[in-house]
């Protein structure tokens, strides 16, 4: 696992080398922008100072993309997602390209701004239709907004991108289960087959959603084969994430919260799906 400090420092090094976001325009400021002081602050793990310096950089280079990206990314890596949104909004106005708008959508989701996240995803896809088929993030936000038919269709598109992903199969089933026109029996009976998803215990999770395994089976699979520390953390994360989502779909709120809080906390893995667990905890508590 890479520390937040090292992730930011590495990212800033790339920025200082002139790369920036993949969507950065060629119109960079004439005056060179140095991120050395910010990198030094991050090396000391002084995130407040790094944010302060990034704010000064924005003031010194008004209307420029790079300083906004820097402060936004510092806040993202500190998991201050709502704080990152205004800078990313400003960045998309300066450079309204699909990749940056799509990235804003992912950060809005993690900030709990679900309708706005969906609007960003839709806008990005309109600009770059090639994004649509693989856009599983849009499928998740459809699900969370109760747009289950749209969610199902999105995950069905993704199946053409990767047909060996238990997560996609399960999210499609969840959309079907919550759709009043379909329901759990239809979802479990129409669960797509996956040949082999190597992430333990996801193959057993698929059986759970097909009504062919139990929660005990999922948890038993976590400890099989004496996994190392890193592998065990990954297994526990996926087990509790999808046990939580399973209980959420089945209407067992207390059990769902128990498992999702473990996935978002004690067994959290770096990445988007841990934030999905956290967002679901927040939605359920509302």
Residues 277 and 191 in one domain: yes
* Interatomic CA distance for residues 20 and 62, integer angstroms: 17
Residues 152 and 267 in one domain: yes
How many structural domains compose the chain? 2
Structural domain contains residue 36: yes
Residues 102 and 161 in one domain: no
Q: Both tokens of residue 120?
A: 């960003």
Neighbours of 248 (CB within 10 A): 21
Question: Which of 95, 114, 133 represents a domain boundary (last residue)?
Answer: 114
Residues 16 and 67 in one domain: yes
Q: Kindly give, in sequence order, each residue whose CB lies less than 8 Å from that of residue 52, ignoring residues fewer than 6 positions away.
A: none
Instruction: Identify the domain containing residue 79 by its residue range.
Output: 4-114
Measure the CA angle with vertex 232, ends 226 and 238; round to 5°. 130
pLDDT in tens, 175-217: 999 999 999 999 999 999 999 999 999 999 999 999 999 999 9
Structural domain contains residue 31: yes
pTM of the predicted model over 0.75: yes
Residues 105 and 179 in one domain: no
Report CA 272 to chain centroid distance, whole Å: 2
Confidence of residue 6 (pLDDT cuts 50, 70, 90): very low
Confidence of residue 31 (pLDDT cuts 50, 70, 90): low
CATH code where residue 258 lies? 1.25.40.10
Question: Which of 71, 89, 114 represents a domain boundary (last residue)?
Answer: 114
């Amino acid at each position: 696992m890479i520390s937040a400090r090292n992730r930011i420092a590495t990212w800033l090094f790339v920025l200082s080398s002139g790369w920036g976001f993949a969507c950065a325009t060629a119109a960079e400021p004439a005056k060179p922008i140095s991120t050395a002081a910010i990198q030094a602050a991050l090396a000391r793990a002084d995130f407040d100072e790094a944010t302060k310096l990034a704010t000064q950089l924005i003031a010194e280079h008004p209307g420029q993309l790079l300083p906004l990206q820097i402060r936004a990314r510092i806040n993202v890596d500190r998991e201050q997602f709502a704080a990152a949104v205004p800078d990313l909004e400003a960045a998309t106005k300066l450079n309204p390209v699909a990749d940056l708008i799509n990235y804003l959508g992912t950060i809005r989701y993690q900030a709990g701004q679900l309708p706005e996240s969906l609007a960003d995803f839709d806008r990005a896809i309109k600009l770059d239709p090639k994004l649509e088929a693989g856009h599983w993030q849009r499928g998740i936000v459809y699900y969370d907004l109760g747009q289950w038919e749209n969610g199902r269709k999105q995950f069905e598109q993704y199946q053409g991108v990767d047909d060996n992903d238990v997560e996609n199969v399960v999210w499609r089933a969840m959309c079907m289960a919550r759709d009043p026109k379909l329901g759990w029996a239809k979802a479990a009976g129409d669960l797509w087959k996956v040949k082999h998803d190597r992430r333990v215990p996801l193959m057993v999770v698929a059986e759970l959603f097909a009504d062919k395994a139990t929660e005990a089976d999922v948890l038993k699979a976590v400890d099989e084969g004496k996994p190392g520390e890193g592998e065990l953390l990954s297994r526990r994360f996926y087990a509790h994430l999808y046990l939580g989502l399973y209980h959420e779909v089945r209407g067992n709120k207390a059990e769902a919260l128990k498992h999702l809080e473990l996935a978002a906390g004690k067994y959290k893995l770096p990445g988007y799906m841990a934030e999905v667990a956290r967002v679901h905890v927040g939605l359920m508590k509302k």
